[in-house]
Amino acid sequence: MQADYVIVGAGSAGCAMAYRLAEAGKQVLVIEYGGSDAGPFIQMPAALSYPMNMKRYDWGLKTEPEPHLGGRQLVTPRGKVIGGSSSINGMIYVRGHAHDFDHWAESGAQGWSYADVLPYFKRMENWHDGGHGGDAAWRGNDGPLHVTRGPRKNPLTRAFVEAGKQAGYPVTGDYNGEQQEGFGPFDATIYKGRRWSAANAYIRPALKRPNCTITRALARRIIIEDGRAVGVEVSRGNKVDVIKANKEVIIAASALNSPKLLMLSGIGPAAHLAEHGIDLVADRPGVGQNLQDHLELYIQQAATKPVSLFSYWNIRGKAKIGLEWLLWKTGLGSSNQFESAGFIRSDAGIAYPDIQFHFLPIAVSYDGKVAPDGHGFQAHVGPMRSVSRGSVTLKSADPNDAPRIMFNYMSDPQDWEDFRKCIRLTREIFAQPAFDEFRGREIQPGEGAQSDAELDEFIRDHAESAYHPCGTCKMGAADDPMAVVDPQARVIGVEGLRLADSSIFPRITNGNLNAPSIMVGEKVSDHILQRHPLPPANDAPWVHPDWQGSQR
């Protein structure tokens, strides 16, 4: 068992790298602990709440009791399946704001500014606007990753964008194009009615080549000899093997499992590794630190007309949707139902959006429990750039043990202020004339929650992860003591070892993380192949002309 390049993890970034390295004629072996992504629960977009709650597809990781959320333990689903989290996510496609990547470059990730990454977003995309307008010049049209838009037939979905406009916010035809700020249609990794995961886009075509293979095993640690990574120790059942890498080992095991694997291999904070009796290879205090995520609340409103998806929330309705999808890949089953988006700034003086809305024409939670009112609608809302930071550490030196995850959510007073603002701004949007014919009572937080203290109690009890963990092996300058990888994604202090997934984000991006995670895989594959990066783009993003003086 050996190859030129051994990739740990067939997730969003890992699949992209396997595809590009195999395309270049390199011998690639991918190690993935999860199994097949076949079956309707993963492939049918509307069934998205199932796979992330299934042991078969999810690592089943949980946070430690979060001190600022009343000691709640939050679930943090990560895909344990071909395609990784792109096989169990909500399929929402958001590149992030241009300024996010400029911030990366300014904080030491040279060569990762928006001008540098935009060509990679274009290279990976095959964008279908579906007649909804948009910025074709800013998008790619021949990449492996199909990106589409839902039909947007539901009157609530359209009312949300209209309400945003009535509240004084801009409308944008393409938040992934020149102008992120505003309300408009969502992009999704859905194609011909199916989830278009990194597995469908990248790893399936790669595996058709004779020089790319995948093996099912648990990566236990990286084998490092004389300061160089030479292979990966894996277990299959009770048997432990070593898979040799002739050129490089590339870790792409998620923002929760990648730092764990580094620490088990002797790369991390020296004192922490000593606690667990792990021999030190490289003292990198940043491994497992800088953990970030997006938290969100569901602001739910009852509907006075039977226009929501609740009509289908029964055995017959679901059977009908499922049958139509199985036969023709059409109908409600072919959409993730997140079809309208909003990106706004919480205040004057903030240069680019720091609040995101996901609108859903039903009042339901991620675990599939529907609101008692029946018909309703909701917006998932939360701040994009919380200053709170957490960590991933080892529970033990046993590779079978889950890591200890502490996000330290809401640990900064600014978080509380931002979340209260999110609730009040959402209520204002739901109060616009566009919703007059549909608006019933507020289900949650409920009209009774108005004061700061009442809202804080709701936030403490109801804030949920948006499942966007990142930042635990941040990319930065080689002389930055907290950086784990350099701007070519090489692990600092070890030869022949790279790490490329959402762990390397210096700071979380604006929106869902699947698109930037795949972009990381695309760009890092060029670094691995020692190619010149794609030429930088000169497109300047739209910024509100009066951002200093006005919130909208």
Give residue-wise pLDDT tens across range 381-409: 999 999 999 999 999 999 999 999 999 99
Q: Where are the beta strands (DSSP E) in 372-496?
A: 376-383, 391-393, 404-406, 439-444, 464-465
Percent of the chain with pLDDT over 90: 95
CB 484 within 8 A of CB 287: yes
3-state SS of 136-196 is HHHCCECCCEEEEECCCCCHHHHHHHHHHHHCCCCECCCCCCCCCCEEEECEECEECCEEC
Query: How high is the pLDDT of residue 364?
Result: 87
- DSSP letter for 228, please: E
Query: How high is the pLDDT of residue 61?
Result: 97
CA angle 496, 516, 289 (to 5 degrees): 60
Region 420-424: what's the mean pLDDT?
A: 98
Give residue-wise pLDDT tens across range 74-114: 999 999 999 999 999 999 999 999 999 999 999 999 999 99
In one letter, which amino acid is 341? A
- DSSP letter for 503, please: G
CA 302 to chain centre: 29
Lowest mean pLDDT of 50-54, 143-147, 188-192, name the range: 50-54
Assign 325 a pLDDT band (cuts: 50, 70, 90): very high
Query: How high is the pLDDT of residue 367?
Result: 72
Give residue-wise pLDDT tens across range 482-507: 999 999 999 999 999 999 999 999 99
Residue 310, beta-bridge partner list: none
CB 103 within 8 A of CB 113: no
Q: Is the pLDDT of residue 51 over 90?
A: yes
CB 140 within 8 A of CB 93: no
More confident residue, 131 or 518: 518
CA 28 – CA 206 distance, rounded (Å): 9
Percent of the chain with pLDDT over 70: 99
- Which residues are CB-neighbours of 222 under 8 A, at least 6 positions away? 229, 231, 232, 233, 249, 251, 261, 262, 265, 267, 497
Report which secondary-structure segment, H or E, holds 322: helix 315-328
| Average pLDDT along the chain | 97
HSE, CB side, 13 Å, CA atoms: give it for residue 275: 10
Which of 141, 114, 172 shows the shortest CA–CA distance to 552? 172
Assign 365 a pLDDT band (cuts: 50, 70, 90): confident
Give residue-wise pLDDT tens across range 265-318: 999 999 999 999 999 999 999 999 999 999 999 999 999 999 999 999 999 999
The reply, when asked if residue 30 is annotated as ligand binding, is no
CA 435 – CA 376 distance, rounded (Å): 11
In one letter, which amino acid is 443? I
CB 18 within 8 A of CB 40: no
Q: Any idea where the domains of the chain sit in the sequence? A: 2-529
CA distances for 96 relative to 111, 141, 324, 353, 354, angstroms: 17, 19, 34, 10, 11
Buried b (16+ CB within 10 A) or exposed e, 188-211: bbbbebbbbbbbbbbbbbbbeeeb
CA 47 – CA 57 distance, rounded (Å): 13
Q: Is the pLDDT of residue 16 over 90?
A: yes
Kind of pairing between the strands at 145-149 and 125-127 = parallel
Assign 522 a pLDDT band (cuts: 50, 70, 90): very high
- Which residues are CB-neighbours of 27 under 8 A, at least 6 positions away? 3, 4, 5, 211, 212, 246
Assign 372 a pLDDT band (cuts: 50, 70, 90): confident
Query: How high is the pLDDT of residue 101?
Result: 98
- 480: tokens are 């930055």
Task: Specify the CATH number of the domain 2-529.
Answer: 3.50.50.60
DSSP 238-278: TEEEEEEEEEEEEE-S-TTHHHHHHHHTTEE-HHHHHHTTP
> Residue 150: left if φ>0, alpha if ψ -120 to 50, beta else—which one?
beta
Give residue-wise pLDDT tens across range 55-77: 999 999 999 999 999 999 999 99
Assign 375 a pLDDT band (cuts: 50, 70, 90): very high
In the block, residue with structure tokens 């202020």: 417
Q: Is the pLDDT of residue 321 over 80?
A: yes
- DSSP letter for 213, please: E
Q: Is the pLDDT of residue 235 over 90?
A: yes
Query: How high is the pLDDT of residue 147?
Result: 98
Query: How high is the pLDDT of residue 129?
Result: 82
Region 518-540: what's the mean pLDDT?
A: 97
DSSP alpha helices (H): ranges in 8-145?
A: 12-23, 40-43, 98-106, 114-124
Residues marked active site are found at 468
CB 393 within 8 A of CB 285: no
Region 318-328: what's the mean pLDDT?
A: 95
Query: How high is the pLDDT of residue 369?
Result: 79
Q: Is the pLDDT of residue 159 over 90?
A: yes
Q: Is the pLDDT of residue 130 over 80?
A: no
Assign 39 a pLDDT band (cuts: 50, 70, 90): confident
Query: How high is the pLDDT of residue 293?
Result: 98
Give the 3-state secondary structure of residue 205. helix
Buried b (16+ CB within 10 A) or exposed e, 384-422: bbbebebbbbbeeeebeebbebbbbbbbeeebbebbbbb
Q: Is the pLDDT of residue 481 over 80?
A: yes
Q: Is the pLDDT of residue 131 over 80?
A: no
